[in-house]
Structure 1
Amino acid sequence: MNWDWEKLQQRNRQRKSGWEPGSGGGGPTPPDFTKIKEALNKWGDSRLILIILVIIMVGWLLTGFFRVEPGQVGVVQRFGAVVHVTEMGAGLNWHWPRPVGQATKVDTQQIRSFEIGFTRVEGRKRVNRDEALMLTKDKNIVHFEIIVHYQVQNPEEYLFEIENPEEVIKTTTESALRSAVGTLEIDRAIVAEGLSRIANNTQDLLQDLLDDYNSGLRVVNVRTERGDAPQEVRQAFHDVVRAMEDKERLIHRAEEYREDIIPRARGARAQRILEAQGEVKRFGQLLVEYRKAKGVTRQRLYLETIGDILPGVNKIIMDKDAAERVMLFPDGKGVRFETIETER
């Protein structure tokens, strides 16, 4: 049976190839078209697979294109390491797609902001007392609210040196603010000068801490939104602040008056000293003349003194004999004649 089955298979193959036993001599064996067809089918399958692989490869490479908008930079990584940072607003760029590489865009021109002591929900202000209440140098409780503006300065540090930069800068700001408030007494902390000083100190301390953390962030501005006593004692503190402001205003006014009156008093004193010295000198000269001619000098001094006194008095001085011959007109009523004996 085994032999017959093998014979039958051989005969079938011969029929398919177009050759029968006893049909003729020993010509060349015809080609096996079945094998050729199988080879062609295999080549077609391989070509299709190759085309699919090429399409997938091209599509994968195309995913590496990215656009850097104005104000942004692109941080390009390859196998996790930073290979380069694009220029700001560089436009269309390419990087090796994932998982080989990736690119992260960072906006370095955007001014970001957050609040300490309050939040805004749907346009309404909501106070956060846990953040807002803090202690001053004299152990009094104050209520502070500030707004911080910042931007990314170093995109590499911003992305890879710290985790969750927004949370880090907020907690660091709260710490810096509490330190700045703790350097002033309450009566200094809640006045205009104190609020400005606290804002400046907070900004300086915050920037130092962020630089120590290599955060890649730059503090643009710290603005004090509110600095006041707690709600429960706010009115009493306002009265104290107003009294202190009145005190400062009165002190300032007194200092202005002092700066005005003291120079004038010094000038008047110097003038009087000079006048006195001049009088002393003049009387010294008169003493010398008086000793030479006492009568003449006495008469001259008398006349000079009378000349200083009488200009404002309605009097006429003339010789005794001439006075007896003077005719008075009606408008001379009230003129009184007085005879003064003078030494000849």
Structure 2
Amino acid sequence: MAGKRNPWGKPSGGSDGGDDGGSGSGGDVPGSDGSGDDAPPPRGPRNPWLPGGGSGGGSDRPRRSANIEDIFKNRGPEGPRRSGGGPGGPNFRIPQRPGGGSWFPIALVAILAIWIFATSIHFVQPREQGVVTWLGGKYYRTLNPGTEFTAPWPLQTVDIENVSQIRRETIGDGAENLILTGDQSLVDLSYLVRWNIKDLVQYKFELEDPNETLREVAEAAMRAAVAENDLDTVLSGAGRETVQIRVRARMQTILDAYQAGINVQGVDIARTEAPQQVIDAFNDVLAARQDRERSLNEARRYEQQLLASAQGSAAEFNEIYSQYRLAPEVTRRRLYYETMEGVLRDTDKTIIETDGVTPYLPLPEVQRRSRASQGPTLTVGPAQPEGQ
């Protein structure tokens, strides 16, 4: 093994303790004593981790051992080398056109054209309208149903709304909503407001929050309408209809004064009941009122019957009086006979008055004998006292 060198450039048999791979003080290696001789440096394999690491000849740089810092140290003017690229990192470039120009201007123009097309053409449906504003603030014009063109965003902004859709706002649903009536009673009431947009420009620009304004106007109108009626009117069906009509008219008047651009289609009362704290007493009051109404209805029915009977009797008397004025004697006799017939119809005794004698004519007995002669019949009647 004499004369052989290890891969790191040191003699295989040397005992030099230097660890710089060529700068040690061993005397067996020519030119290593630092005496300034112009002898060539030792040849042999270079450190693979250093620049030019496999070349063993032609280099007059001193060889040294590997250092961990050398692995991460920049080994060129443009930084460390990376896998897959030359010195200075990967050299990535945008593909060029066949003529040698760049694709970037064409891509930029295409993106700009798509952006202008997408933000300048608007398709408004038949039941919709749109509001165009400059830079999102100043009103410019209104878009009607159809295809409309505007300046691209953000120069002009378009806000499209369905103006024919019936919208609903529920008030008092799921929560207690107590309202004072005209007779100082409390009623828990919930209702539904149906509305749509009448003027889109006013709806967008006149009020800060149109929906909240609608709720407040509805509550104010309902409280005013309920305060004009007593509790019975609010709870009854006819009274409820009256309250709904008044609330709608009052709401429309207030919203038109605000220029809210809202059209109130109708108000529907969903629930009218007493507060939970007094519900038992309220039910008792309702039961008593129902009993009163039933008694009043019976009295009115009896009154109508008596009135009809009296009117019939009065009409009959007037008819008889008109006949009496035409023939007094005939009418007088007729009235007498009809009266006696009505009196004697249900009696079984008949008395005939003659001069000096008052005979008794047993008509019931004669009638019984007549029926007995016609056939056997069973007749049950009151017993006649003797001597009659």
Residue in 2 that maps onto 1:189: 234
Does structure 1 residue 221 correspond to structure 2 residue 221? no
Structure 1 position 187, deviation (Å): 3.4
CA distance in 1, matches of 2:279, 2:331: 76
Residue in 2 that maps onto 1:117: 172
CA distance in 1, matches of 2:143, 2:283: 54
Residues 1:70 and 1:242: Cα distance change in structure 2 (over 3 Å): farther
Does the 8 Å CA contact 1:77/1:84 hold for their aligned counterparts? no
Residue in 2 that maps onto 1:100: 155
Match of 1:141 among 186, 189, 198: 186
Residue in 1 that maps onto 2:373: 331
Structure 1 position 104, deviation (Å): 1.0
Residues 1:286 and 1:277: Cα distance change in structure 2 (over 3 Å): closer
CA deviation profile, 1:244-274 (whole Å, cap 9, x unmatched) = 2343344345445545553442232121233
Residue in 2 that maps onto 1:68: 124
| Counterparts of residues 128-167 of structure 1 (less than 5 Å) | 129=176, 132-167=177-212
CA deviation profile, 1:113-140 (whole Å, cap 9, x unmatched) = 122112xxxxxxx32x3xx012222333
Residue in 2 that maps onto 1:319: none
Residue in 2 that maps onto 1:238: 283
Larger Rg: 2
Identity of aligned residues (%): 26
TM-score normalised per structure 1: 0.60
- Which runs of 5 or more residues in structure 2 are unaligned? 1-99, 351-368, 376-388
CA distance in 1, matches of 2:202, 2:298: 54
Does the 8 Å CA contact 2:245/2:267 hold for their aligned counterparts? yes
Structure 1 position 277, deviation (Å): 4.9
Match of 1:85 among 137, 143, 158: 143
CA distance in 2, matches of 1:184, 1:235: 23
- Which runs of 5 or more residues in structure 1 are unaligned? 1-43, 119-125, 288-296, 316-327, 334-344
CA distance in 1, matches of 2:164, 2:231: 38
Structure 1 position 216, deviation (Å): 1.2
Residue in 2 that maps onto 1:5: none
Residues 1:332 and 1:226: Cα distance change in structure 2 (over 3 Å): closer
Code of the residue aligned with 2:113 in structure 1: it is: V
CA deviation profile, 1:216-251 (whole Å, cap 9, x unmatched) = 111222111111211111122222223323433443
Indicate the RMSD between aligned Cα atoms, in angstroms: 3.9
